[in-house]
Chains A and B, each alone.
Chain A
Amino acid sequence: MSKAKWWTIAAHEYAVHAKRKGFLIATFGTPLLLVAIFAAIFAFIAFGDQSNSLGVVDQAGITQKLPATVTITDTLRKDVAVIRFDDENLAKAALSKQEIDGYVVIPSDYLQSGALRGVANEGNLSSDARDRFKDYMQKALISNQPSLNDQRALEPIDQVYNRKPNSAVETSEGQGILLFFAPYLFGIFFFIAVFSSSAYLMTALVEEKESRVMEILATSLRPFELMVGKIVGLGLVGLTQISIWVGTALLAFTIARANIEGMANLTLPTNVLLIGAVMFVPAYLMVAGALGAIGASVSAVQEGQQFSGIISILMISPVWFINMIIENPNGPLALFLSLFPFTAPIVMMQRVALVSVPAWQIGLSVLLLVGMAFVMIWLSARIVRVGMLRYGKRLTLTEIRRALSLGGQHGE
């Protein structure tokens, strides 16, 4: 193979696509968008429909051992102060002055009935307020158990440290959240980078067919060289994109860890990044091969997008099963999805973040992915050879079957 020609194609594809507005917007806009989305989610959780302060009127006398104001905390939500009022009139006055968002009256027969009477301007206490009152009531009841350590009774769980069965390394609750989000985030990056680069490849092939440049290319180099050049060039585009994204994420994490007290002890799951790095190239080759074959078979970009949608659904399908994967990361579904080449990268990243995945499973997963990449590149080279000069109508299944059986022969 003439190195110069495939490299010329690769350099051209890289230069053209890396300068496209769409690429620049996606590459530099995606991290900003993700930051905005996560910020919005946290803001919604932290500030959306939440109580600021609540009140309590204790007619049963069960809260006397608690301070007059008790702060109810929650991992993802802001702290809420529950203030005890001596009588309901004071609570009502505080409510009318909007010092509190609502209050409950604990009737004298509470211990028998378990019933509370809630008062709020809207008529109903919000679900957040109900959750906080539940915590408050537990604290009140526990405070009446003399044999317990008061502080521990009031805050039964301060922190949970997790570790894998055969590991001495423990992770905090924050680290657990990171272990959920990191593979999820990198999975999204991975999917977008792999799929968008492959989609560029498909679009470039169809456009070259539509614009009839393909016939010039066909007389300048072999279809295989053409495909290698495009795959390398656009692969580098995808690599540039994911490097910028991952780099930005790592930088943001480093800055956050240095400046936010709660994050100081968090460590990035490097095994997730390692799995992602190992699987990126074969995954890209596999999808690029599939989309390249589609590009060579169809006659219009729109038609190609319809077919490529099937591949994208396959790749992103693990998101539908994310709960099942997290609940049982070594279960049969998670195992299957982490071995099936089209879903393997995203699911394997999630699994290695959560549990110790046996080395043979990781090895087999990578092997199957590499194998599928070879199959897809082989298929696409055969189909490109036949479909590259087909204008105006797509290849039929019979023609594709014939192309696959042609071996090294040219045909039409």
Chain B
Amino acid sequence: MAMLNVVDVKKSFAGTQAVRGVSFNVEPGELFGVLGPNGAGKTTTIRMILDILRPDSGSIEVLGGPMDESKKNRIGYLPEERGLYRNLKVIDCMVYLATLKGIERNEARKRASAYLERVELGHVAQKKVSELSKGMQQKVQFGTTILHEPDIVIIDEPFEALDPVNTRMVKDLLFDIRREGRAVLMCTHQMHLIEEMCDRIVMFNRGEIVLNGTLRDVRRRFAPNAVWVEGNGSFDNLPGIESVQTENGQVQLNLQAGTSPQSVFQALASRGDTSIDRFEVAIPSLDDIFVRVVNGERGQ
């Protein structure tokens, strides 16, 4: 059973189509990445999944059926536009928001305390939210998203304002959720984190999904049929090479159709005057793919 199943969903606001027939699904134990430029329809789609907005057409199934009130307690949401009760104590704020997700008060307090200890914020439990740094608030906010142990966690820019140490902490929490067979749907512009963490991705552009699949598949679709080489000696006049580009000491050998990277490697290795420090099949970064997609490319 898919945790989330979005089928051909459309939504318009005052004549403007914000979401145009979007379909994707998220499976249990999956970290699912959602990419796209600002205004591409990601937040509107998430709000439809959460039943804050209703789609004009299409269907959304959450945890095996249509969204209803009982399922709200099984979803954790960290919105892009986020905030906490600034005048409440950290622990009280977390407990209150957890009780709204159906957790009994004492249990919520226990979980909140344990969470704060885990993310090294135990000492601020009795402080007001407004007294915390932005990074601390972000960790508290993340805690309110997962305190009720939701089956689906939907997070929008979860690493904003976090330093590398805290980013690692939140990543570990997300990996734990995945390990437990729950699902995470993550929106972020930090491509390296998507590359590092996500099993599958969708990319939105102008209300449509323009990419959908595993990271490996997506990258292959945009791979230029080339290899990157670093080393000493000449890389010219190799068989099956269409052209050679050099940038920042890295050489890109663009292959002719039908030429395999292995044959190029063998040809290089057999040359006595050339030493190879690095040989890599050219696969574009998600960052490159993002820019290319936004500029209208769809891949092969």
- Choose from A16, A210, A217, A391 the contact partner of B100 (Cβ within 8 Å): A217
CB-CB < 8 A to A212: which residues of B? Answer: 79, 81-83
Contact B79 A9 (CB under 8 A): no
Contact A219 B54 (CB under 8 A): no
Contact A211 B86 (CB under 8 A): yes
Q: How far is the CB of A205 from chain B (nearest CB, A)?
A: 13
A95 to B85, CA, bound (A): 70
Mark interface residues in B88-121 (1 if CB within 8 Å of A CB, else 0).
1000000011011110000000000000000000
Contact A220 B81 (CB under 8 A): no
CB-CB < 8 A to B97: which residues of A? Answer: 216, 220
Contact A410 B51 (CB under 8 A): yes
A8 close to B (CB within 8 Å): yes
Mark interface residues in A1-40 (1 if CB within 8 Å of B CB, else 0).
0101100110010001000000000000000000000000
Q: How far is the CB of B100 from chain A (nearest CB, A)?
A: 4
A348 to B73, CA, bound (A): 47
- Choose from B53, B69, B82, B96 the contact partner of A222 (Cβ within 8 Å): B69
Contact B84 A213 (CB under 8 A): yes
A389 close to B (CB within 8 Å): yes
CB-CB < 8 A to B96: which residues of A? Answer: 8, 12
Q: How far is the CB of B175 from chain A (nearest CB, A)?
A: 24
Mark interface residues in A357-398 (1 if CB within 8 Å of B CB, else 0).
000000000000000000000000000000001010000000
Q: How far is the CB of B136 from chain A (nearest CB, A)?
A: 16
Q: How far is the CB of A410 from chain B (nearest CB, A)?
A: 4
Interface residues on A, range: 20 to 34
A410 to B13, CA, bound (A): 12
Contact B85 A211 (CB under 8 A): yes
A44 to B286, CA, bound (A): 81
A221 close to B (CB within 8 Å): yes
Q: How far is the CB of B77 from chain A (nearest CB, A)?
A: 5
A39 to B54, CA, bound (A): 60
Contact A219 B50 (CB under 8 A): yes
A389 to B102, CA, bound (A): 23
B184 close to A (CB within 8 Å): no
A112 close to B (CB within 8 Å): no
A303 close to B (CB within 8 Å): no
A266 to B51, CA, bound (A): 61
A16 to B96, CA, bound (A): 11
A411 close to B (CB within 8 Å): yes
Q: How far is the CB of A239 from chain B (nearest CB, A)?
A: 22
A4 to B108, CA, bound (A): 15
Contact A215 B53 (CB under 8 A): no
CB-CB < 8 A to A5: which residues of B? Answer: 100
B254 close to A (CB within 8 Å): no
Q: How far is the CB of A191 from chain B (nearest CB, A)?
A: 27
Q: How far is the CB of B143 from chain A (nearest CB, A)?
A: 12
Given contacts A219-B50, A221-B100, A411-B53, contact A213 B13 (CB under 8 A): no
Which residues between 47 and 88 of chain B lie within 8 Å of chain A, taking CB atoms? 47, 50-54, 69, 72-73, 75, 77, 79, 81-86, 88
Sample (22) of A-B pairs whose CB atoms are under 8 Å apart: A2-B69, A5-B100, A8-B96, A12-B96, A210-B83, A211-B84, A212-B83, A213-B84, A215-B81, A216-B77, A216-B97, A216-B144, A219-B50, A219-B75, A219-B77, A219-B79, A220-B97, A222-B69, A391-B81, A410-B51, A410-B54, A412-B53
A-B contacts besides A211-B83, A216-B97, A219-B52, 20 pairs, CB < 8 Å? A4-B102, A8-B96, A8-B99, A8-B100, A16-B88, A211-B84, A212-B83, A215-B81, A215-B82, A216-B77, A216-B79, A218-B50, A219-B50, A219-B72, A219-B77, A220-B72, A220-B100, A410-B52, A410-B53, A411-B53
Residues of A within 8 A of B (CB): 2, 4-5, 8-9, 12, 16, 210-213, 215-222, 389, 391, 409-412
- A-B pairs with the 5 shortest C-beta distances? A212-B83, A211-B83, A220-B100, A215-B79, A410-B54
